[in-house]
């Protein structure tokens, strides 16, 4: 029986590594054992390196390596009045709940978000679901971290190209200390051209390291309740320094 169990375990590990994309596409949350979690993390990382456009694999990597970070974020949210409100009401950044942003006046945070999404033909419903968190609370925190990503693009004034996404991962790492964010910075910068790499490390990286530390705890913000407020005002209130134009600034 011991030999059979070992064979089955090895077979399961091989299947998990080779068919990781099947695992992360399951319909419901999955409770993984330690070795299974490591296998999914490894398989997701390998798959994401082969195909960086696989958002489901990147999401699985973030979940399987990020539990301690999400637990710290959860505690910070519990220590904040606005964060507790977010945890209590559990808002979702999906089209049925954020559509009022499209009705906000010009120059508001909501209008800027609507313009950002509409100009890129993005949908807030496109995020892959969280599958590998142990509890409902942690699953919501991981979901929230994933869904506020586009809010942060708007607030920090970052493009959605490779440089902009990599710069935002620096800020996300400083806000949440998720290992996946730092891995994304390493992976993203490895794909830069020489010109892009010089621009990133001379302009975007120094700004992002400062901006991420200066900002308030952005995971404890109930963004949807600030849609009606002036964009520049919410930036000031939350200590956000938008990314300067690389053509006209020195950092």
Alpha helices in 162-248 (DSSP H): 162-176, 179-190, 194-199, 205-214, 231-237
Task: Please indicate if the annotation marks 7 as binding a ligand.
Answer: no
d(CA 110, CA 115): 9
Alpha-carbon distance values, 82 to 79, 106, 222, 241 (Å): 9, 25, 6, 21
Alpha-carbon distance values, 202 to 24, 158, 163, 197 (Å): 37, 16, 12, 8
Task: Please indicate if the annotation marks 153 as binding a ligand.
Answer: yes
Q: Is 230 helix (H, G, I), strand (E, B) or coil?
A: strand
Binding residues: 149-150, 153, 165
Output the known binding site for Zn(2+).
Answer: 149-150, 153, 165
């Amino acid at each position: 029986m011991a030999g059979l169990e070992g064979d089955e375990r090895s077979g399961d590990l091989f299947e998990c590594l080779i068919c990781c994309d099947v695992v992360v596409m399951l319909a419901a949350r999955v409770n993984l054992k330690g070795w299974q979690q490591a296998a999914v993390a490894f398989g997701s990382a390998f798959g994401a390196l082969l195909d960086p456009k696989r958002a489901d694999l990147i999401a699985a990597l973030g979940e399987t390596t990020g539990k301690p970070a999400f637990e710290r974020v959860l505690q910070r949210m519990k220590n904040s009045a606005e964060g507790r409100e977010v945890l209590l009401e559990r808002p979702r950044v999906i089209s049925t709940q954020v559509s009022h942003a499209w009705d906000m006046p010009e120059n508001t945070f909501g209008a800027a978000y609507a313009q950002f999404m509409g100009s890129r033909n993005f949908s807030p419903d496109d995020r892959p679901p969280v599958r590998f968190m142990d509890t409902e609370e942690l699953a919501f925190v991981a979901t929230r971290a994933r869904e506020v990503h586009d809010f942060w693009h708007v607030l920090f004034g970052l493009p959605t190209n490779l440089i902009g996404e990599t710069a935002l991962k620096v800020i996300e790492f400083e806000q949440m200390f998720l290992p996946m964010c730092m891995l994304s910075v390493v992976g993203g910068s490895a794909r830069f051209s020489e010109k892009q790499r010089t621009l990133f490390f001379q302009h975007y990286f120094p700004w992002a390291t400062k901006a991420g530390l200066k900002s308030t705890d952005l995971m404890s913000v109930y963004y949807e309740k600030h849609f009606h407020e002036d964009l520049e005002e919410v930036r000031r209130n939350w200590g956000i320094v938008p990314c300067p134009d690389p053509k006209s600034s020195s950092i």
